[in-house]
Chains A and B, each alone.
Chain A
């Protein structure tokens, strides 16, 4: 082998490896900071870590204690209430608005812009606005009373039984426009020929939507469900800004539970166990979805 050959082989090798070399920093980052960290937290959930990570293994003890803690019970219950209402209302409102907007509306683009702008805001901003708007002392209740309806009462945000619904109100306000956009994109993909044929057969608009249009929106429903469920499980900022988890612990969610147990109550083992459960529930929703998307594209 001459030295020229060797250089060429070296160049060939470099040319073949270059794409992988370019990709490798990102890959390494993700392997360490996503999967390595997931593993680390998972391992911690089986240890006696308190204020700092430590590695005395205690088996399932953290999980057993987690399920006995009342605060976790409340957080999971709240997530079920919040998550299901949030998903149902966002989908219903989003679909209704999309159908209304799909009737050859003048200024459609302008209206769409208004419906969607909350998505550009931080949940902290949304939380601040709704926190004071729902505050009985200065917000809606005070305003309506000022208008003359003296007995009007709206104190959900101060009421432990109702406060969780104020989170739903603010979260729906923020995200429903986005769900509208997803359904609108779905509606625009529907074949008009089928609709025309059904119209000629004398089907009413209501029947057209119920029988032909809405069934065809299945993929949009799927995407909306996945996005909303995943956002619900991760909800943290909005609760912090709107109610701070209160009154008392009435609006704690798993995300706020994890944070307070890990960083303020120094129960890192239990915090890690709760994070692991959050990850598992998101994985149960996301992995089948990502899997099907990737397979479809091949």
Chain B
């Protein structure tokens, strides 16, 4: 995204500037409202929420909803809390992100620096795969995971995310490497450098930013996925999103809203932290995945 330097030449009077700031602050509050609701209600006893105090700060502060959500809340049939599912999500995300990023980098390198007849079509096919409604692959994928012996397991989910993550990671690296001077690659070729040498010595050292973009994008997407998690996991391999949904939707017993909110924050925290630390790269990824690369 462009910086302030290129802001427009339009001038506004001080009266309208006041209104502009007022509107901007109002929308800040609008976007922050659900986060505020989640945070304050995760820190108050259930009775305060039930008494209609959702918007108020806790009159009695407590962290017990957090402990409950983490380690004792009833998820499905077992009272394990969200912890095992949080671990499932981490076990699923790390390998899926790593492998799809490496494959994306190699693919992008081939598609821009070792072009061949029909490479645009290959890229087009990869790209369209990013946007298909995954409902179209649920049935055969369920069969395939069964045949591979991965049905209902974390490795099965890793595999699924890897398969459908390749398109986006290839898109990022391809668009990035397209800007990379091909002359450098040519010169290295003439000097006798091979395919992997050029990749390792010339492409990789300058791939830092796009690698960050790709990793953040894949991490956010895979962590936040619900459809694949709900379709292909068993009780003991559910990712965080599925477990959170089970926690919130469970129809037995009293609805512990404060525990639900604490759980929701737990599910949001990893991607939120990444966003706060490296938001610039996240936004770049979003834009590259939608607007021109």
Residues in chain A within 8 A of chain B (CB atoms): 15, 18-20, 22-23, 25-27, 29-31, 33-38, 40-41, 44, 53, 97, 100-105, 108, 111-126, 128-133, 138-140, 142-143, 145-146, 173, 177-178, 181-182, 184-185, 187-190, 192, 195-196, 199, 205, 208, 213, 219-220, 223, 226-227, 230, 233-234, 236-237, 240-241, 244, 255, 258-259, 262-263, 268, 271-272, 274-276, 278-279, 282-283, 286-287, 290-291, 293-294, 296-298
Contacts and interface: CB of A to CB of B under 8 A. Distances in A.
Nearest to A256: B135
Contacts, number: 304
B37 A133 contact: yes
A237 B141 contact: no
A133 B33 CA distance: 10
B103 A26 contact: yes
A186 to B, nearest CB: 8
Interface of B: 1-2, 4, 6-12, 17, 20-21, 23-24, 27-28, 30-35, 37-38, 41, 49-55, 103, 106-107, 110-111, 114, 116, 120, 122-129, 131-141, 143-144, 163-164, 166-167, 170, 178, 194-195, 220, 223-227, 230-231, 241, 244-245, 248-249, 257, 260-261, 263-265, 267-268, 271-272, 274-276, 279, 282-283, 286-287, 290-293
Contacts of B248: 128, 131, 241
Given A34-B137, A205-B12, 14 more contacts: A19-B110, A22-B106, A30-B125, A33-B141, A37-B137, A103-B8, A104-B4, A112-B1, A115-B28, A117-B275, A120-B272, A258-B135, A293-B292, A294-B123
Given A34-B129, A97-B27, A143-B52, A124 B241 contact: yes
B139 A26 contact: no
Contacts of B33: 133
Given A30-B126, A173-B31, A122 B223 contact: yes
Contacts of A195: 8-10
Nearest to B121: A294
A15 B197 CA distance: 12
A240 B224 CA distance: 14
B53 A268 contact: no
A92 to B, nearest CB: 13
B249 A244 contact: yes
A236 B124 contact: no
Given A100-B24, A279-B136, A282-B133, A122 B290 contact: no
Given A37-B140, A132-B261, A290-B124, A173 B34 contact: yes
Contact of A18 (B122, B195, B220): B195
Contact of B271 (A19, A23, A120): A120
Going nearest first, the 10 A-B pairs with the smallest beta carbon separation are A188-B2, A19-B114, A122-B224, A120-B275, A34-B129, A146-B52, A142-B52, A129-B34, A237-B226, A275-B135
5 contacts: A25-B103, A122-B271, A132-B261, A259-B138, A275-B139
B221 to A, nearest CB: 10
